[in-house]
Amino acid sequence: MSGLPKIPVLDLTPEIEALWDELMAAIQGVIKSGQFIMGPNVQAFEQEVAAYLGVKHTIGVNSGTDALVIGLRAAGIGPGDEVITTPFTFFATAEAISQVGATPVFVDIDLRTFNINPELIEPAITSRTRAILPVHLYGQAADMDPIMALAEKYNLKVIEDTAQAFGGEYKGRKLGTIGDAGCFSFFPSKNLGAFGDGGLIATNDDEMAEKARMLRVHGARQKYYNEVIGYNSRLDEVQAAILRVKLPHIDEWNEGRRQAARRYNELLKDIPGIVTPFEDPNARHVYHQYTIRVQDDRRDELKSHLAENGIGTTVYYPVPVHQLPLYKELSPALLVAEQLAGEVLSLPIWPGVQEEVLEFVAGTVRAVIGSS
């Protein structure tokens, strides 16, 4: 194994090389067309993604963060409102809530799935609560049935943060299509990634779709006839063309990630202090990250040893959002999120990752943790 180069957390080279000719043709086609903003590729991509997800409307935007901001505003969330969400997520989830003038209310997470614990949502609902914002973290579905039941009971909107879970499912339904809107990111490292920033809002709600389309172009239904303060948040034509080339392969790539995860599970089983990812039998995990728990306060030690052996790893996330200075005064201690922030470690994974890479990574984990 000494001949292998340094192993990254993600290697995009295989998918780029496999699609090189199609990608170059798509990019050149855009350049030759002279249409770079809101052109035919954006329209076609929106239609193709809507068909893939099984929704009426998809609205391409500039980023996953903008998808959250615009999705919240399209749902009528604004100043004075509260939105219940998870503290164990990328900052953008809470940031988007704050951007629209609302207040994030953090509730703790499920120890197995790393996602928001539905049992803790109802006690957090107040007269100001207007929405729930679950995150499908690492590609694992949040438990949506009880979340939707609470939303119906209290007349709340549900905005799904699906940035890490494109193609994932919950009880046969695509993630991002269960709530009032789903928000997606096409950041290059995502399961379906562009060659720059990009995002998307998916919804079956005609009114929300109309508002989102207006908000992404400066709050105007018709150019120069602006009705509200909006954003300059358009998915550009080059990124849309690239995503159109990649979209037909997403199920194959996600299955490749699932196969890699299954092999990791076999290789890492029975190592004391290592907890492999839980997979909900009602859902289809798409393993944006393969994230283990390293118990007994040995996560950083393992991360360091893996780095010494040329193995890249990442901690998503070392500080729960509720502990950041911006939000610390808003939230009580959330013990599960705080515990997991000290345990999680994401190992290298991508579609088609080589067997020898999986064996070397797992063998190194076993050598460090299983030997003591």
CATH class of 13-248: alpha beta
Question: Which value, to the nearest 10 degrees, does the dihedral of the CA atoms of residues 318, 324, 327, 331 take?
Answer: 50
**Residue whose C-alpha is closest to residue 154's, from 181, 182, 122, 180:** 122
- Kindly state the helix (H) or strand (E) to which residue 344 belongs, with its residue range: strand 344-347
Question: Can you give the pTM of this predicted structure?
Answer: 0.96
8-state DSSP, 169: E
Q: Tell which CATH classification among 3.40.710.10, 3.90.1150.10, 1.10.8.50, 3.40.1010.10 matches the domain 250-369.
A: 3.90.1150.10
Q: With left for phi above 0 and alpha for psi between -120 and 50, is residue 146 left, alpha or beta?
A: alpha
Enumerate residues 6+ apart whose C-beta is below 8 A from 333.
Answer: none
Count Cα atoms within 13 angstroms, Cβ side, for 249. Answer: 20
Regions in the chain scoring below 70 on pLDDT: 1-5, 371-372
Total residues found in the chain within this entry: 372
Question: What are the domain boundaries of the chain?
Answer: 13-248, 250-369
Q: Judge whether 361 and 1 are in contact, CB under 8 Å.
A: no
Enumerate residues 6+ apart whose C-beta is below 8 A from 151.
Answer: 132, 157, 158, 179
Asked if 13-248 and 250-369 have one fold, the answer is: no
Q: Judge whether 99 and 253 are in contact, CB under 8 Å.
A: no
Q: SS3 for 103?
A: strand
**Residue whose C-alpha is closest to residue 241's, from 1, 41, 89, 36:** 41
What amino acid is encoded at 185 in this protein? S
Please provide residue 173's backbone torsions phi and psi, each rounded to the nearest 5 degrees: -105, 140
Please tell me the predicted confidence (pLDDT) of residue 1. Answer: 46
Please tell me the predicted confidence (pLDDT) of residue 261. Answer: 98
Q: With left for phi above 0 and alpha for psi between -120 and 50, is residue 357 left, alpha or beta?
A: alpha
**Residue whose C-alpha is closest to residue 192's, from 138, 271, 249, 120:** 249
pLDDT in tens, 166-210: 999 999 999 999 999 999 999 999 999 999 999 999 999 999 999
Q: Tell me the pairing of strands 181-185 and 169-170.
A: unpaired
